[in-house]
A = this chain, B = another copy of it.
Amino acid sequence: MNQETIWDIAHLAHVEILTPKLEESTRFFTDILGMTITETTRDSVFLRAYDDYEHHSLQLTAHKHAGMGHYAWRARSEAALQRRVAAIEKTGLGIGWKQDNIGHGPAYRYFSPDGHTAEIYFDTVKYKSGAADTSALKNTISKFPARGINVRRIDHLNLLSKDVRAFRDFQVGNLGGIVTESIVDNLEDMNPKAAWFMVNSKSYDLAITEDHLGLGGRFHHLTFACNSREEILIAADIFLENGIFIETGPHKHAIQQTFFLYVYEPGGNRIEVANSTARLILDPDYATIYWTIEERKKGQAWGLATIPSFHTHGTPMPEEL
């Protein structure tokens, strides 16, 4: 059954985050996270981490409230892109091609079943370092910044969804990949409450969690990867020293085993820095791991209780809608 899993998506490519405080949010990502700006337009700032290979992995856009503008997948090939677009079009959730994009070629835009805006593309603009930021090692996209937290690359996106089952089925059926882990109400009913999607060898590039408020299209968090857990611990000190609100962590997730640290950037969006140690899922017919609501009461791996705001804080916040 699973033998012909669709492997047409290469990875989560970038996320557009909305912020009511563009300047402060930009400083957070440059000075604190150590990212760099690659382009600026009237409303947006485009940024990348030092080993992100594309023009940007993050677009910050000025907006009246926090939230997510859109997220983007890069396909594995032009043919793979066409196959995915054909599949999405049949669902009726397609929006259409957007030809003119900063940092990449034509992208096909669509709605998630929850109403989030997404896109998929193959043709891209790869980052070329210059005199000031070329790494001493040819296989690093640009020089290690030695500034702030030094995040290495975009890692994954977590979205709230008012219908986890619908999102999950749409994602696997049309974008492909595997649901590596899932929370269900119980093992009899198997009603999904959260799902983690793998499209390459990282155990997830996208996760969705049930929106307890029943709102649509909300953003939970965006994650950047560091090279080690030690750097996540150092990051905690850097956030502390710079007055950034730490929501929870560092600690190890039971689900996916990610060593996590969650903060709110100045615009109000939740940002995670994380390291997954050496964990990869290389098994091509990996069986989804199910966790029940009951099991989740144990908290995170080493017993940390899941913080209540984790279930309520999503952007935009309800009062902003």
Complex CA–CA separation, A147 to B5 (angstroms): 37
**Any chain B CB within 8 A of the CB of A137?**
yes
Binary contact track A270-294/B, C-beta < 8 Å → 1, others 0? 0000011111101111100101000
* B282 and A5 form a contact (CB under 8 A): no
* A135 and B246 form a contact (CB under 8 A): no
CB contact under 8 A between A240 and B7, given known A149-B146, A278-B225: no
Binary contact track A223-259/B, C-beta < 8 Å → 1, others 0? 0011111110110111111110010111110111101
**Any chain B CB within 8 A of the CB of A14?**
no
Complex CA–CA separation, A79 to B6 (angstroms): 12
Of chain B, the residue at the smallest CB distance from A280 is B202
**Any chain B CB within 8 A of the CB of A51?**
yes
**Any chain B CB within 8 A of the CB of A99?**
no
Within 8 A of B (CB), among A91-150: 122, 126, 135-140, 143-144, 146-150
Min CB gap A207→B, angstroms: 14
Chain B residues whose CB sits within 8 angstroms of the CB of A80 once the complex forms: 3
Complex CA–CA separation, A186 to B220 (angstroms): 40
Min CB gap A147→B, angstroms: 6
CB contact under 8 A between A122 and B240, given known A228-B277, A279-B51: no
* B78 and A137 form a contact (CB under 8 A): no
Complex CA–CA separation, A310 to B75 (angstroms): 39
Chain B residues whose CB sits within 8 angstroms of the CB of A55 once the complex forms: none
* A282 and B10 form a contact (CB under 8 A): yes
CB contact under 8 A between A240 and B302, given known A137-B257, A284-B10: yes
Complex CA–CA separation, A169 to B151 (angstroms): 36
* A282 and B231 form a contact (CB under 8 A): no
Chain B residues whose CB sits within 8 angstroms of the CB of A200 once the complex forms: 200-201, 280, 282
Complex CA–CA separation, A74 to B233 (angstroms): 33
* A303 and B246 form a contact (CB under 8 A): yes
* A252 and B236 form a contact (CB under 8 A): yes
Chain B residues whose CB sits within 8 angstroms of the CB of A78 once the complex forms: 3
Chain B residues whose CB sits within 8 angstroms of the CB of A139 once the complex forms: 181, 203, 255-257, 289
**Any chain B CB within 8 A of the CB of A301?**
yes
* B152 and A284 form a contact (CB under 8 A): no
Complex CA–CA separation, A243 to B298 (angstroms): 13
Complex CA–CA separation, A2 to B80 (angstroms): 12
**Any chain B CB within 8 A of the CB of A76?**
yes
Cross-chain contact of A289 among B138, B229, B254, B275 (Cβ < 8 A): B138
**Any chain B CB within 8 A of the CB of A77?**
yes
* B7 and A7 form a contact (CB under 8 A): yes
Of chain B, the residue at the smallest CB distance from A153 is B278
Cross-chain contact of A76 among B144, B238, B277, B284 (Cβ < 8 A): B284
Instruction: A11-B282, A225-B278 given; name 14 further pairs at CB < 8 Å.
Output: A3-B77, A10-B282, A51-B279, A76-B284, A77-B284, A146-B242, A152-B278, A152-B279, A201-B202, A201-B280, A227-B279, A249-B302, A250-B250, A261-B302
Instruction: Return the 6 tightest CB-CB contacts between A and B, nearest first.
Output: A201-B201, A3-B77, A227-B277, A230-B230, A11-B282, A10-B284
